[in-house]
Chains A and B, each alone.
Chain A
Amino acid sequence: MRAMLIRDLRLAFRAGGGFGLGLAFFLILVVLVPFSVGPQGELLASIAPGVLWLGALLACLLSLDRLLALDFEDGTLDVLATAPLPLEAALAMKSLAHWITTGLPLVLAAPFLGILLNLPTQGFSWLVISLLLGTPALSMIGTFGAALTVGIKRGGLLMSLLVLPLYVPTLIFGAEAARRGVVGMDVQTPLFLLAGISLGAIALLPFAAAAALRMTIR
């Protein structure tokens, strides 16, 4: 399992690995929002949690296309399916690698981008906590979507359509937790629900993704 994780991380950081793609997209989106909305500090502050969460979600979605497609093309998935390492574990590791290379940089970059959106200072920690709790679910749900569509040429569109509705609960509770943190309300309920979604996704979706993958590679 560790070998799988190390290999995926190494590949992501090598040339053409796609590390930074999501981060760059996130950066561009959030930098451009103040220009398009205009210099109204209060308005920006009130939409900041939502924009940051939406940006993180779309940045995650952007890199899902490559998550399994490359391994499918070069025959790695065929070999993995016949290897002693359970496919469930391999996919869980791939999704962890995706989170480390895509989700974690977004979490770390979010507070700095919050400054651009005039995010009130008391909201920073809640924004980071909500992203930290929510982005693993985005990676895991995305792995499931990628496993469903991996056999299809240019399956990115179909995958986005399949994954987006599954992303909605994470987005709602994540952005709500960040917003409540900003205005100083109680954040416990949305944070608990968000953590519940993430834990549920991590517990169940590796099995669903492996089942879907066995179907698509045969």
Chain B
Amino acid sequence: MELRLTNVAVARGGVPVLSGVSFTLAAGKALILRGPNGSGKTTLLRTIAGLQPPLSGQIDGAEDAVAYAGHADGLKAMLSVAENLKFWAAIYGRRDIGPALDAYALAPLAERLTGTLSAGQKRRAGLARLMVTGRPIWILDEPTVSLDVDAVEMFAKAVQTHLAAGGMALLATHIDLGLAQAQVLDVTPLRAAPSDMHGASDEAFL
């Protein structure tokens, strides 16, 4: 079980942003993407998650294995935390939400409507969603936004537990999570040249 990217190029809005991305992520390992705003981290993560096709190159091992957490949490404001997590667990064919609630100290909030939570609490619930999916590859886009120090620690611990169980994690983040064994990939040098424009348009209605 490994995730392998071979010479992948990705585009956003018809403009190529990254090219020549290659790496291999083995079970139990984490990869942290770094780069300034707009350097294509989110686009790369969405491509690996399968939400958009790559311009070129090959992505192996990602299909039906990823759990994606983007900027939005995918939680309904008018459902309670437990209802939200149970729904996502059911979608992934699972039931148990207990470990996820425990890992992010959500048990006291389980019956609260998600819409009444603070931004940080909501984020914790959104991250807990990854744990109920049971998928091996976690793809996390800026997971620590609006989390306090304690919550970041909870998150780091959850990722370490996941890695120890043979999972993988792909993160785009600016802060240090203390993941000792994580590889770091700086995407800045991989910026796509204008010559890669050929065939870049993915607009369906252009």
Interface residues of A (CB under 8 A from B): 2-4, 7, 10-11, 14-17, 73-76, 78-85, 215-218
Contacts and interface: CB of A to CB of B under 8 A. Distances in A.
B165 interface: no
Interface in B20-75: 46, 49-53, 64, 66-75
Given A10-B79, A75-B72, A218-B51, 16 more contacts: A4-B91, A11-B78, A14-B78, A73-B72, A74-B73, A74-B75, A75-B74, A76-B76, A78-B49, A78-B51, A78-B68, A81-B50, A82-B49, A82-B51, A83-B133, A216-B204
29 contacts: A3-B87, A3-B90, A3-B91, A4-B91, A7-B76, A10-B79, A10-B83, A11-B76, A74-B72, A74-B73, A74-B75, A75-B72, A75-B74, A76-B74, A78-B49, A78-B72, A79-B69, A80-B91, A81-B50, A82-B49, A82-B51, A82-B68, A83-B91, A83-B92, A84-B91, A84-B93, A215-B204, A217-B51, A218-B46
A85 B72 CA distance: 20
4 tightest Cβ-Cβ pairs between the two chains A and B: A75-B72, A3-B90, A218-B52, A14-B78
A32 B49 CA distance: 52
Main secondary structure of the interface of B (DSSP, over half): loop
A74 B87 contact: no
Contacts of B155: none
B153 interface: no
Nearest to A78: B70
Contact of A85 (B49, B66, B73, B91): B91
A201 B27 CA distance: 44
Instruction: Report, as a range, how many residues of chain B touch the other chain.
Output: 20 to 34
A26 B48 CA distance: 46
A86 to B, nearest CB: 11
Contacts of A73: 72
B136 to A, nearest CB: 13
Nearest to B202: A218
A56 to B, nearest CB: 27
Contacts of A15: 78
A3 B129 CA distance: 15
Given A10-B79, A17-B78, A82 B53 contact: no
Contacts of B202: 218
Nearest to A7: B87
A14 B91 CA distance: 21
Given A79-B88, A84-B64, A74 B74 contact: yes
A78 to B, nearest CB: 5
B166 to A, nearest CB: 19
A158 to B, nearest CB: 11
Contact of A75 (B73, B86, B133, B204): B73
B145 to A, nearest CB: 13
Contacts of A80: 91
Contacts of A79: 68-69, 74, 88, 129
A218 B54 CA distance: 11
Nearest to A216: B204
A10 B79 CA distance: 8
Contacts of B73: 74-75
A10 B82 CA distance: 14
